């Protein structure tokens, strides 16, 4: 119901019934391979997108609500590979 807050943490007895898995991003080399394999973009575009994502991800601890996922990098690479300029593609896909 609306009176329950999504930000409220679970009771310890409820939390004990679940398993938490931590997922992290693939390493830079693997992420570059994903981008080139999924989109057909060249290695320089993949490298620049991965570097940009790493820079954003380093800001996670500085009040950045969301960082670019690999899925969003694939989307940006598809836009660039399709002819959109890099800055516009990154603004559309990542910001």
Q: What is the DSSP string of the chain?
A: -TTS-TTSPPPHHHHTTS------PPPHHHHHHHHHHHH---HHHHHHHHHHHHHHHHTTTTT-S----HHHHHHHHHHHHTT--HHHHHHHHH-
Label residue 3 by pLDDT band (50, 70, 90): low
> Could you read off the pLDDT of 17-52 as tens digits, one per residue?
888 788 889 999 999 999 999 999 999 999 999 999
pLDDT > 70 in the chain, percent: 92
Chain mean pLDDT for the chain: 89
Pick the more confident residue, 8 or 91. Answer: 91
């Amino acid at each position: 119901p609306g009176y329950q807050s999504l930000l409220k943490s679970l009771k310890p007895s409820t939390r004990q019934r679940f398993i938490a898995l931590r997922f992290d991003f693939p390493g830079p080399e693997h992420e570059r391979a994903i981008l080139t394999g999924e989109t057909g973009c060249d290695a320089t575009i993949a490298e620049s997108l991965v570097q940009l994502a790493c820079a954003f991800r380093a800001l996670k601890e500085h009040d950045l609500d969301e960082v670019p996922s690999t899925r969003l990098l694939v989307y940006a690479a598809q836009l660039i590979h399709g002819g959109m300029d890099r800055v516009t593609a990154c603004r559309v896909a990542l910001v």
